[in-house]
Amino acid sequence: MLKRIAILMFSLSSFGVIAEDRLVLITGCGRSGTTYISKALCLSGLDVPHEKLGEDGAVSWYRAGDNCYFRWKRIKKIAEEEYRHIFHQVRDPLKTIASAQTLRKEAWEYICQCVPEISMDDPLVVRCAKYWYFWNLRAEEMAEWTYRIEDIDEQFSEMGNRLGVPLDPQVLLKVSQEQRSRKNNYTPLTWNDLETNLEPELFENIINLANHYGY
């Protein structure tokens, strides 16, 4: 009897019916320093891998989407995965939008599934700008806390307080400076570049959201 129950629970969990209660999901736009914060938390003893699901959760930009397919796998709704905490990480919009130019085709196809306002036919800069705007709105809506990666030295202890886990800011020194951001193998952007390439309403929305995040 117990064996049959165990098999049933395994089957249900495979289809997302039974959700495990994990500690934290950190999400936001790709290219927002998610690799860096994952490494810092893993060094602190938490199993929160980058773009994978660990025992304590995940650091993953694509988990802000739901009911879409990424690399032939359906991304579950956040509610199906049951995180105790969801944090939203942001980074300087110009740097993030510029760095998003390096996203692969499969990532863009997933993004366009999740956000109908974004099209593969959009020019690359426009697509990146829309991604920064609409993806951050999605992530912020589902999160309990938004913080800037540029302020992580001051916010790391606050993160630990929210998680109920002591986090020592000294750990951040162990993560190399190179891992804070991707090498600049993309075209840098200025606000003038965005204003020239974007529709006025989208440009104004991005300015307002950037100000909202303290940029």
Q: What is the pLDDT of residue 72?
A: 52
Does 12 map to a domain? Answer: no
Query: What's this model's pTM, rounded to 2 decimal places?
Result: 0.85
Does 158 map to a domain? Answer: yes
Does 2 map to a domain? Answer: no
Residue 147 has pLDDT above 80, yes or no: yes
Among 132, 109, 114, smallest CA distance to 76 is for: 114
How high does pLDDT run on average in the chain? 87
Binned at pLDDT 50, 70 and 90, residue 56 comes out as: very high
Q: Please tell me the total count of domains within the chain.
A: 1
CB 115 within 8 A of CB 135: yes
Residue 10 has pLDDT above 90, yes or no: no
Q: What is the pLDDT of residue 19?
A: 47
- Which token pair is 7? 């098999």
Does 103 map to a domain? Answer: yes
Number of neighbours of residue 153 by Cβ within 10 angstroms = 10
Binned at pLDDT 50, 70 and 90, residue 186 comes out as: confident
Q: What is the pLDDT of residue 21?
A: 85
Does 206 map to a domain? Answer: yes
What angle in degrees, to the nearest 10, is found between the helix axes of 105-114 and 124-142? 60
Taking the alpha carbons at both ends of the chain, their separation in whole angstroms is 59
Does 132 map to a domain? Answer: yes
Per the structure, the complete domain to which residue 118 belongs is given by 20-212
Does 6 map to a domain? Answer: no
Residue 33 has pLDDT above 70, yes or no: yes
Does 116 map to a domain? Answer: yes
